[in-house]
A and B are shown apart, each in its own frame.
Chain A
Amino acid sequence: MTGFETGAGAGVDWAPIEEWGTAKNAHAAAAIPTGIRAARETDRWVGIVLIVSGSGQKVARGANILLTRTLPEENLLQWDTGSLPFRGSKGQTGIPVSAVSYPFTLEQPDMADARTEIVNELDSILRTSKRRDFLKLAAMGGMGAFFPAIIAGCNGDTTDPTAKAGFNFSSDRGALNLAYAYTQFMADFYARVQSNPYVGMTTTENGLFFNYPGGINYQLQAQRNTLQNLITSGRITDAVLFNFTSVDFSTRSVVMGFAQTFGDLGVAAINGSVSTVKNATNLTLLGKIVSALARQAAAIRDLNDQAAGSARTSFAATADAQGLDPATDPKSVITTLQPYFRTTLSTSGV
């Protein structure tokens, strides 16, 4: 573990890869600036650091620090750690904490690429069992006094707040949350494709997936983030957990087959849930998203046609004899999604 000052003094460039917004603290936001930094040596990244410098500040009752990561630069990535369990107890005075770090090594000096990798690493740490290690490190770094309940909660406790996501279709929220879960899912999928590209990915495919800003992965991120922003209450977890162990990301046919199947599913899922939406703004947003998803799915299908050397007639082959795309009911959608989610999905109100 490396302290912030120590690291900086040791000649490591603690690059401000981004600001994590400000501390979203209901009562003491101004008092607890936070930040995330990556440590960069000449040709590699050697760690990421969460900075909590709440020196001497009194943490008010119920204070929660929700770290919302935003990248002002190019809207490249946005990631909300709103469910991070950092919490100060009543009247607790924070002790000076400069930083804790989670060490890792990344042989990737390029800033743009490294950002993605670092975010993935952070994501992994904070979403999975590694979180416990991270929090233990946090404890060692002094944050334990700051957040004792959290550290206690990490000891052998397997309950995870991201373990469940319920979609209640008695209001618009059900359809919006389902779209939100879906865009989280597919954004995560494409992030994995990007970090572990399959053998033989063509320039066309790479561009379609990852060109900025129009690439499918950026579209999904934008949709995900906008939904997150729109669903102001009753939103499902911002950190839905996935299970891609059955997906061989190194094989083109697997990845492209998955992209097609679940690209189509997203379209069918929104089509199948709009009947539960009553508000015009919400309905229009889902409309804006679903046609973008349909374009993505059609493009994937056409790529698969071309790769197979078959007639390029699949782009809209999802349509039935009446020329209608599927509209799949939410329960069926969730049944199809569940094997790829560690978070337990459930529906009500339909």
Chain B
Amino acid sequence: MTNKTHEQIFDTIGDASITDAVYSRRNVLKKSSLGVAALALSGMPIGLAVMAESAMAQSSGSATSALTLALKLELLEQAFYQAGMNMYASSGTNPMFSTAEEDAVNEILGHENAHVALLSSVITGVTAPTYDFTGGSGANNGPFDPFNGTDTTDFFALAQLLEDLGVRAYKGQAPNLIGDTHLVTAFQIHSVEARHAAQIRTLRGTTPWVDAASALTDYDSGFATAQAPIVEAVYGPEVAGTDTNGQPTFSKGEDNVLQYSSYAPLGYNSGNKPAFDEPLDATNVAAIAALFGVS
């Protein structure tokens, strides 16, 4: 019997050679994931094919463009929630928000106002355009009708999309803010947007997190058929299929089951989609925002 302590023994276990051997599988997987960015995006809705650009573009933008995109989205949300409060928070011929709905929208609007004010202090020259809340690219003939005066279904459906899109957009822009003084601020807004998304989703009777199964169509629950292309754009894009290892191919959408070096079925739980919100690159975000009149 020796007198070695736990500490000494554990120091030995930390040997690099051992660690390398232990994690060799990870390295193999990491290598196998390098080629995924080159995969073609074949599953895109036809009308949104313009968005099918590489997500890698998000790493080449500047901090200014990142914050400009953020401000445009915040202005869109601000106008959307303000219109919602104007229409549904007071009695009249229109249906009214429930108390919980009005509380939520009011809180969220307050935050969006603050975000606009904050970002406007950094980014100048961005003003609110005339929005098309139908999602019709300015033609006002899109699949959403959030201010129809009959019910608030589309209002909250669109609210969910805008919030979840905002979360993805900030996340996608984070790498452009590395080393920038506004990185932390962007993260502080980002998590507030995630809280908004959770509450809107809860009020809609779905999970607070994006909890879709592998098929992209599962995202469409609670949306009209005509809205599906926009819904899929917000939560996609998806690349269907399997790789040479028989594993699901990498997806840039919220149905991603591959977190870095590990595949979902192999025990690292990376296939747990709600645990990881996915980023969306500026090109795709801008294309979706353009549907609502953002230029």
Contact = CB atoms under 8 A, between A and B. Distances in A.
Given A229-B268, A288-B259, 5 more contacts: A66-B13, A153-B4, A271-B187, A311-B103, A316-B108
Contact of B3 (A152, A230, A272, A292): A152
A75 B174 CA distance: 29
Interface of A: 24-26, 29, 62, 64, 66, 68, 70-72, 75, 78, 82-83, 85, 87, 148-153, 157, 159-161, 208, 213-214, 218-223, 225-226, 228-230, 232-233, 267, 270-272, 274-275, 277-278, 280-281, 283-285, 287-299, 302, 311-313, 315-319, 321-327
Given A160-B6, A295-B198, A299-B202, A287 B279 contact: yes
Given A274-B187, A298-B198, A288 B279 contact: yes
A272 B184 contact: yes
Contact of A322 (B4, B108, B114, B267): B114
A302 B7 CA distance: 45
23 contacts: A26-B22, A64-B13, A66-B22, A85-B9, A149-B4, A152-B4, A161-B7, A223-B276, A226-B259, A229-B268, A229-B270, A271-B188, A280-B174, A288-B259, A288-B277, A291-B277, A297-B195, A298-B198, A313-B103, A323-B110, A324-B118, A325-B187, A325-B195
Contacts of B111: 316, 319, 323
Interface stretch (B37-45, B203-211, B218-226, B227-235): B203-211
Contacts of A26: 17-18, 21-22
Nearest to A152: B1
A335 to B, nearest CB: 20
Contact of B277 (A64, A229, A292, A326): A292
Contacts of B183: 274-275
B107 interface: yes
A10 to B, nearest CB: 32
A324 B114 CA distance: 9
Nearest to A151: B1
A280 B259 contact: no
Given A230-B261, A285-B259, A323 B267 contact: no
A319 B193 CA distance: 10
A75 B17 contact: no
Nearest to A277: B178
B173 to A, nearest CB: 10
Interface of B: 1-7, 9-10, 12-13, 15-19, 21-23, 26, 59, 99-100, 103-104, 106-108, 110-115, 117-118, 167, 170-171, 174-175, 178-179, 183-185, 187-199, 202, 207-209, 211, 259-262, 264-279
Given A291-B190, A324-B192, A298 B208 contact: yes
7 tightest A-B CB contacts, nearest first: A323-B114, A70-B267, A222-B269, A222-B272, A161-B10, A280-B175, A294-B194
